[in-house]
Amino acid sequence: MLDAPRGIIAPHLGKGPRAGLCTDCGVSRMKDDRACGRACQFIAPDYEAAEVRIHGRSADPDRGEEAFFGVTHAMYRARLSRPAQGAQWTGITTALAESLLRSGAIDAVITVAPDPNDIWRPVPVLVTEPEALAQCRGMRMGFAPSVALLEQAQERGFKRLAFIGIPCQTYALRALEHQFGFARLYVIGTPCSDNTTTARFHAFLALLDGAPEQISYLEFRADYTVELRFLDGRKPRFIPFMKLPISQLPADFFPLTCKTCVDYTNRLADITVGYMGGDGAQWLLVRNARGAEMLAGIMDHMTVEPLTDKGNRKAAVAGFLANTERAAGGLPLRRMPEWLRPVVAFLQPLIGPRGLEFARARVEMKAIETILHLRRSHPAKIKNMVPTHIWRLAAKYGLTPDRSEIVRKDRAP
């Protein structure tokens, strides 16, 4: 057990990740590590069956935005009226869990906290005091074996839990939750894309600023900039996406897991809290009654605004597909001539998609990326690993499965 503040339990977790496509979600560190076979997003995920089990039905591509974002009962553009100190956006994610602990609905929350020696490294923790969640706020880059804490929670006699996690963790959690027999399990998900190891992320920070150890916050914002905040009191910096030093990153900077991920929006969470569709605010997708119950607990502390939907993504997504097909390492920005970057950086926030259209664009790009990278690196995995919702998103851009890439006829889009 690591030294941890009051209300936070940080158990030592043995074993390690698996070789191959693995984000160290925690299953391989459990007593029965063979469970990876049925719990892994990278082997043979069955999202439709899981959606029926968890949400009562699978996503309906003809209903609202479900073709893009999965089962959705309600969608909001929102912020906490008083943003929480240290939060990634305004802190809705941790506020949901805090409210559950405060009301006594749960005994503990499984989430991650910063490593005491490296604020960017996520460490899985069990949180039992609502105040302690303040220490977990903010986004860290890296992989945390949080799902392994299901065993720790069970051993400690916790019966009612909340889990905060990224999509590959949520998939594994949902596959295994029934075997633990918890009385209640609330799942708060965030979207996730372009994750990498914490060590690699430090190398990226060093390219962005002369004093990378002073960077305390980084976010890819919906206005096409990356925001940096600093420990030394400097004013935040906003770097346009187009001016990021992507060309200086090694081709394998983003691991293959995250280039072939099949769930951007955390489709199996009870509620997803992101920013992509929020146009500067947070973006909430309530997926079932449990998600609505959680949100009701903090509604009095939120400001809700109308969703926005601007621009047209089609040309941007088609351009991304062409670039990704061309780029050997899958870093399409590499091919942009230097002189063009400032022009595009200026134009992008003005003419680029915003709000829901931005979120649709990102989800389609990720689906395209998944298929192209798997075709290049693991073609034999495609038929079991790529779910219908990914093929459906990519089909609009002419990317369709051949006979060897689908398991059954009914998996075609």
Ligand X SMILES: Cc1cc2nc3c(=O)[nH]c(=O)nc-3n(C[C@H](O)[C@H](O)[C@H](O)COP(=O)(O)OP(=O)(O)OC[C@H]3O[C@@H](n4cnc5c(N)ncnc54)[C@H](O)[C@@H]3O)c2cc1C
Closer residue to ligand X, CB minimum distance, 46 or 227: 227
Closer residue to ligand SF4, CB minimum distance, 139 or 258: 258
* Contact pick of 166, 249, 269, 399 for ligand X (by CB under 6 A): 166
Measured CA to CA, the distance from residue 251 to residue 267 in angstroms comes to 29
x/- string (CB under 6 A) for ligand SF4, residues 274-313? ----------------------------------------
Task: Work out whether 144 is an interface residue with ligand X (CB under 6 A).
Answer: yes
Measured CA to CA, the distance from residue 105 to residue 290 in angstroms comes to 12
Report the partner that residue 39 touches, choosing among ligand SF4, ligand X, none (CB closer than 5 to 8 A by kind). ligand SF4
Secondary structure of residue 104 in the 3-state scheme: coil
Task: Work out whether 265 is an interface residue with ligand SF4 (CB under 6 A).
Answer: no
Report the partner that residue 142 touches, choosing among ligand X, ligand SF4, none (CB closer than 5 to 8 A by kind). ligand X
Quick check: 260 and 42 in contact, CB under 8 A? yes
Pick from 106, 263, 121, 119: which is nearest to 187 by CA? 106
Task: Work out whether 92 is an interface residue with ligand X (CB under 6 A).
Answer: yes
Pick from 251, 240, 276: which is nearest to 363 by CA? 276
Per the listing, tokens 């006699």 go with 157
* Contact pick of 28, 152, 198, 388 for ligand SF4 (by CB under 6 A): 28
Task: Work out whether 366 is an interface residue with ligand X (CB under 6 A).
Answer: no
Report the partner that residue 23 touches, choosing among ligand X, ligand SF4, none (CB closer than 5 to 8 A by kind). ligand SF4
Window contacting ligand SF4 (CB under 6 A); options: 72-80, 94-102, 253-261, 346-354:
253-261
Quick check: 23 and 257 in contact, CB under 8 A? yes
Quick check: 126 and 160 in contact, CB under 8 A? no
Closer residue to ligand SF4, CB minimum distance, 29 or 290: 29
Task: Work out whether 138 is an interface residue with ligand X (CB under 6 A).
Answer: yes
Report the partner that residue 167 touches, choosing among ligand X, ligand SF4, none (CB closer than 5 to 8 A by kind). ligand SF4
Measured CA to CA, the distance from residue 408 to residue 383 in angstroms comes to 9
Structure tokens at 351: 């003419």
Measured CA to CA, the distance from residue 121 to residue 142 in angstroms comes to 6
**Residue 194 is which amino acid?**
D
Task: Work out whether 359 is an interface residue with ligand SF4 (CB under 6 A).
Answer: no
Quick check: 351 and 248 in contact, CB under 8 A? no
Q: Summarize as ranges the residues that interact with ligand SF4 (CB under 6 A).
A: 17-18, 22-25, 27-28, 36, 39-40, 42, 166-168, 172, 192-193, 195, 257-258, 261
